[in-house]
Amino acid sequence: MGNIHNNNLIAGDRLAPVYTTVELTGLVQKNRVHRDVYLDPAIFDLEMERIWARAWVYVGHASQVPDPGDYIGTSIGKEPVLMVRDKRARVNVIYNRCGHKGAKVATKPGGNTAMFRCPYHGWTFNLDGTLNATPHKCGYEDTDFDTSDPQFSMQPVARVESHRGFVFASLAAEGEDLKTFMGATLETIDNMADRSPEGEVEVAGACLPYLHDCNWKMFVENLNDAQHPMVCHASVGFATRALMKRLPAGAEPPKEAEIISPFGASYQFFDDLGVSVMPNGHSFMGGQQSIHSAYSDIPGYLDSMIAAHGRERTEQVLGSNRHNTTIYPSFTIKDAVQIVRVVRPLAVDKTLIQTWHFRLKGAPEAMLHRTMTYSRLINSPASMVGPDDFDCYNRMQESLCSNSAQWVDMRRYIGREETLGPITRAKGTSDLSMRNQYRAWLHYMAGSEAQETQR
């Protein structure tokens, strides 16, 4: 482990500060970060308390719980939670913890239930988490036990808000509202939903899980790292372009080639896309152009959009082509291909990435097929692109342990950004999005005072 911090956690005292503000500030400089941010379990525990328990974290989409009693199980940082639709059609997010002695109540990934029943002593809970009943009631008469006391419920998380069906929760009672937190990334979610003739999306098919043996930040940083595709994904880009060159003149390229080939595009292409960052660590690449903007038409889709929204509005919606949008720390979205990848940190060197696919309501089913094809080609553990990235994260996680050097660089195009209102932009291969993430990281971890020092 590195040598900056004072690693003196007191056993059993999980809230004891392991790092002082000064030490945390020392881990993040303007142009580099110390390797301990990826390696130290004590930093991971602090991140769970100071970032993941404070920020708005993605929970799920309301279409995953369409009917009363529908629920899914997931987590916010280290906390197991359930997203459940109650009898009044409200979507609640409650801790998956029994109000009696703390057992995990629901263990399936999801389902439908009239109420939750703890398998240990049989306490039951309503769909909003309040205590319904306890078996064999005698024995509590002379105590202060009160069934309406929230301490005996499956407690609700502090704050839940949603936008276009995307449900986020914060474990912190205080903080900015969801829309303020999201800033300009809200438009990415809007754009995905607006690509539906009905203005709505719904989750389709199962989750595609991919367990990564690396720190969660490596995945989040990769999303807007445009220095890597032409190197890391070179072989698949080369093979696809070679295949396209061999096609007879005028022949339509296979859809698969159309999806894969931009991953081998040039530095110039990615520089021209540009990267945009905003407060709270969020970022996106592209805008009018992205690696998705040259896809061929799917028969019937444009007509269905024009019929629903008119030509002008349709051109406006389809003319927005952001690449990855990252809503720090948990949520990444490709609006133009209707895919969401969710970050679930499990340990300092273990992260679950969950890919979810969305149907554009009212659009031809072929749109969903393209979404699924994209995921099989790019996001799946058996795909031709995702495992390239995965291999590089593994290499970093392994070799950052080397004592040969302490720092991870992020200085490319530093000082060459342009700021317009809340958005700062730079060339696409800039490290700007990483610098912006660590600015947010430091703010969460050590407060605004440390952040100013770092500047």
Pick between residue 258 and residue 389 the one whose CB is nearest to Fe ion: 389
Pick between residue 66 and residue 102 the one whose CB is nearest to ligand FES: 102
Helix axes 301-309, 311-318, angle to 10 degrees: 120
Q: Which does 389 bind (CB under 5 to 8 A by kind): Fe ion, ligand FES, none?
A: Fe ion
Q: Which does 120 bind (CB under 5 to 8 A by kind): Fe ion, ligand FES, none?
A: ligand FES
CA atoms within 13 A on the CB side of 435: 25
Candidate segments 113-121, 199-207, 263-271, 379-387, binder of ligand FES by CB under 6 A: 113-121
Q: Least distance from C-beta 385 to Fe ion, angstroms? A: 6
Residues 6+ apart with CB under 8 A from 83: 59, 60, 64, 65, 71, 72, 74, 91, 92, 93, 167
389 in contact with Fe ion (CB under 5 A): yes
98 in contact with ligand FES (CB under 6 A): yes
Token code pair at residue 288: 């009018």
Candidate segments 26-34, 61-69, 100-108, 231-239, binder of ligand FES by CB under 6 A: 100-108
Residue the block writes with tokens 């799920």: 60
| Omega before 329 within 30 of 0, i.e. cis | yes
Window 51-90: contact mask with ligand FES (x via CB under 6 A): ----------------------------------------
Strand runs labelled E in 371-410? 407-409
Residue type, 61: H
Q: Least distance from C-beta 48 to ligand FES, angstroms? A: 24
120 in contact with ligand FES (CB under 6 A): yes
DSSP symbols for 170-223: ES-SSS--HHHHHGGGHHHHHHHHHTSTTS-EEEEEEEEEEEESS-HHHHHHHT
Pick between residue 133 and residue 206 the one whose CB is nearest to ligand FES: 133
Q: Least distance from C-beta 321 to Fe ion, angstroms? A: 18
Token code pair at residue 398: 């392994």
Q: Least distance from C-beta 125 to ligand FES, angstroms? A: 9
Three-state SS for 166?
A: strand
User: How does DSSP classify residue 203?
Assistant: E
Three-state SS for 253?
A: coil
Token code pair at residue 30: 């303007």
103 in contact with ligand FES (CB under 6 A): yes
Residue from 100, 228, 361, 376 touching ligand FES (CB under 6 A): that is: 100
Which helix (H) or strand (E) covers residue 139, if one does?
none
- The binding site for ligand FES (CB under 6 A) comprises 98, 100-101, 103, 118, 120-123
- The binding site for Fe ion (CB under 5 A) comprises 389
